[in-house]
Amino acid sequence: MLNARFGCGGCAFRTAAMKHCFYNETVGFFYNNSRKELTTYWRTKDVLVVALGLTVSVIVLLTNLLVITAIIINRRFHYPIYYLLGNLAAADLFAGIAYMFLMFHTGPRTAELSLKTWFIRQSLLDTSLTASVVNLLAIAVERHQTVFTMQLHSKMSNQRVMILIFCIWVTALLLGLIPSYGWHCLCALEKCSSMAPLYSRSYLTFWAISNLVIFLIMVVVYTHIFIYVKRKMTRMSKHTSFHPRYKETMISLVKTVTIILSAFVICWTPGQVVLLLDGLGCKSCNVLAVEKYVLLLAEINSLINAIVYSYRDNEMRNTFRRILCFVCYRNSKYTPTVVKLNTTDRRTLSQNGHFTVDSSI
């Protein structure tokens, strides 16, 4: 009898809990709950945001696809750092697809989405952006290792690089899919966030703090690289045997590190701070007013990555020209260019006979 009583109480408790879950409600229900505006018509602001977002997405897709193609076809890029750059380009390519998907399902179209489609839209963004951030961290650590050991390329084996890339995507998928599988507010409306009305504020806080910690680590790593290179260059410049080409490479490295760090902080920090404020439930912070703009700024970083990490590499630029003008390289003008490159290649052979790519990454 006692067991039956507790059993019935458990059933009543589960029934009561189920009544507080709103799986059958519309997206508009949650937007109204979070007091986030949901328009039913296209405003000028919505059109401009979508037009700009689609433009950025297309450019991100094309530039990162170009980087991936260059790394695949040029054997000189078959080194750990370039595999990581290729994976970064793949993450940014995925980010471009996710952002384009968002542009086609935003504005008045948001009200027409099912809960499943809304979670897919957000999961694509979270997964792609997380993959990009974690990949940037991996590149920072790799560059730190190679710079401090005075090497151009890491001695990491291809197998370890593939394992690292696999771990990056597993981490990104886990963080991107967690809200869809439970870390949401469908059963606790009072915990819903303002920027993502179906997400729990605790998840936004966790995601923002995790990314900010990664940012801090990257700032420390790149600052350490910057200080080391500056000191190394100062010491080496005092010696008469200091090679001008080495000085040029060091200066180029300092410039690249500065651009990388500046672009990353400018593009990512505002969005993470806004997410953190929303996650902490800041009532006086008008996070919705800047939501779309900070997300677009983070997406622009996917374009900057391709430029900074790849276009400053002479060999990468040459490969880009071959891809974009492959028809021109079929004529007779292509032969002298190859001879010239081969002559340069022979001059850049290291003492052990292995080819080294002139890179300012």
Please give the pLDDT value at position 10: 47
Please give the pLDDT value at position 354: 37
- Phi/psi for 280 (5° steps) reads -80, 0
In angstroms, how far apart are the furthest CA atoms of the chain? Answer: 96
- Residue the block writes with tokens 């600052």: 223
Pick from 277, 233, 291: which is nearest to 102 by CA? 291
Provide the token pair at 187. Answer: 């059963």
Encode pLDDT of 288-311 as tens digits: 888 888 988 888 888 887 788 667
Distance CA 219, CA 24 (A): 45
The answer to whether the CB of 68 falls within 8 A of the CB of 93 is: yes
Helix axis angle, 80-103 relative to 44-73, nearest 10°? 160
pLDDT means over runs of 10, the chain (361 residues): 44 47 90 88 88 92 91 88 89 93 91 93 92 89 80 75 94 92 90 92 93 89 84 71 62 71 85 91 86 86 80 80 70 42 40 40 53
Provide the token pair at 270. Answer: 């505002």
The answer to whether the CB of 295 falls within 8 A of the CB of 271 is: yes
**Residues present in the chain in total:** 361
Contacts of 285 (CB under 8 A, 6+ apart): 274, 277, 278
Please give the pLDDT value at position 312: 74
Using CA atoms, how far residue 192 sits from 36, 72, 179, 278, in Å, is 11, 44, 12, 10
- Residue the block writes with tokens 């809200």: 179
Give one word for 359, left, alpha or beta, with left for phi > 0 and alpha for psi -120 to 50. beta
Total Cβ atoms within 10 A of residue 188 = 14
The answer to whether the CB of 110 falls within 8 A of the CB of 34 is: no
Helix axis angle, 80-103 relative to 291-306, nearest 10°? 150
Contacts of 76 (CB under 8 A, 6+ apart): 315, 355, 357
Q: What is the CA radius of gyration of the chain?
A: 25
Provide the token pair at 61. Answer: 């897709």
Distance CA 188, CA 185 (A): 5
The answer to whether the CB of 300 falls within 8 A of the CB of 294 is: no
What DSSP letter does each residue of 44-99 carry, written as one string? HHHHHHHHHHHHHHHHHHHHHHHHHHHHHH-GGG-SHHHHHHHHHHHHHHHHHHHH
Distance CA 95, CA 208 (A): 18
